[in-house]
Amino acid sequence: MLHKKRGYFFVLDALLGLFILVIGVFLITSTYVETPKPTQVGLLSDSLIDFLSGKTIKNFNSPYAGIGGELWKQGGITNEENSLLQQIGEFYSTNRLEIAEKFIQNVSNGVIPDQFSFEVWFNNVILYPKEPSLEHKKSKSDSELLLTSKRITFGTMNSTTTKIWGPYMVEVFVWERGTAKVRTTFTEQSVCTNAESLGLCGGLDTLYAPGYKCSCCIEHSFCCAGCS
C-alpha cells in the first residue's frame, strides 16, 4: 500500500512539473513574437499608392519632377494635371522605363521608411527597381510578410489631345527587411524575466534562436548562467 502511495505521488509530481513547464512556455511565447506588424506594412503600401494617385504634378514641389523642374524643362512632362501615378503610366506607355524608375525613386523619397523595401509594377512589369539587386530579391523572398496594394490608372498623353493610354493595373509591394529571422540582439525584457523566474532560460535558444539566452543576460541581466 505504501509503495502505491509513493507511486501515486511520483506521478502527481511529474504531472505538476510538466504543467508548470507548459505554462512557462506559453507565457514566454505569448509575450513575444518577432514578426513584422501587418497593419504597419499594409498602411505603408496603401499610403504610397494613395500618395502617387492623389498628388498632381502642379502641386508637387521637386527640382526634378515638379513644374519647372528638370523633366518639365526637357519636355518629359507636359501635363501639369497628371497625378504622379498617371505620369508614371505615361512613361510606361511610351516605353521610357528608365525615366519611370528615376521618377518613382525621386517622388517616393521619404514616403517609405528606410527599414522597408518596395516595388512598383505596371501590368506585371516591374518599374521600380527596374533591375532588382540580388540583395533586394533575397530580402523579398525571405520576408515573412509581403503586402500589396492595387490601383487602376489611365490618362491622356497631354492636355491638348484625346489620345488615351491605359488602363493599367498598378501594384505596389511593401515589406520590412530582415524579418525572416529573430533578431537576438533585441530581446524582450518580459521574456527574459519570465524565463528566469520559471527556470526556463535553457530553452530560449531553442524557442527563438541561438544566442537569445545570452542576449537576455547582456541586455537585461537575466539568464546569465553559462554566459561569459
Residue spans of the domains in the chain: they are 38-176, 182-228
Dihedral over Cα of 207, 212, 214, 215: its sign: negative
Q: How confident is the model at residue 6, as a pLDDT?
A: 52
Contact 173, 118 (CB under 8 A): yes
The predicted model gives 48-58 an average pLDDT of 95
Residue 26 has pLDDT above 70, yes or no: no
Q: pLDDT digits over 68-114, tens only?
A: 999 999 999 999 999 999 999 999 999 999 999 999 999 999 888 88
d(CA 117, CA 147): 11
Give the pLDDT band (50/70/90) at residue 43.
Answer: confident
Side-chain-side CA neighbours of 14 within 13 Å: the count stands at 6
Report pLDDT for 159.
66
d(CA 193, CA 127): 48
Query: Under 8 Å CB-to-CB from 59, ≥6 apart: which residues?
Result: none
Comparing CA positions, the residue from 99, 51, 66, 85 lying closest to residue 167 is: 85
Q: Which grid cell is 223?
A: 539568464
Residue 116's DSSP bridge partners are 176
Span 143-197, pLDDT tens digits: 878 888 999 999 988 767 678 999 999 999 999 887 544 333 356 777 888 888 8
Sequence-separated (6 or more) residues with CB below 8 Å from residue 105: 128
Residue 167: which H helix or E strand, with range? Answer: strand 164-176
| Separation between Cα atoms, residue 77 and residue 69, nearest integer Å | 9
* 163-166-172 Cα angle (round to 5): 145
Express each pLDDT in 180-192 by its tens digit: 443 333 567 778 8
Compute the distance between CA of residue 69 and CA of residue 158 in angstroms, rounded to an integer.
17
Cα angle value 100/103/106 (rounded, 5°): 150
Contact 80, 58 (CB under 8 A): yes
Contact between residue 171 and residue 198 where contact means Cβ atoms under 8 Å apart = no
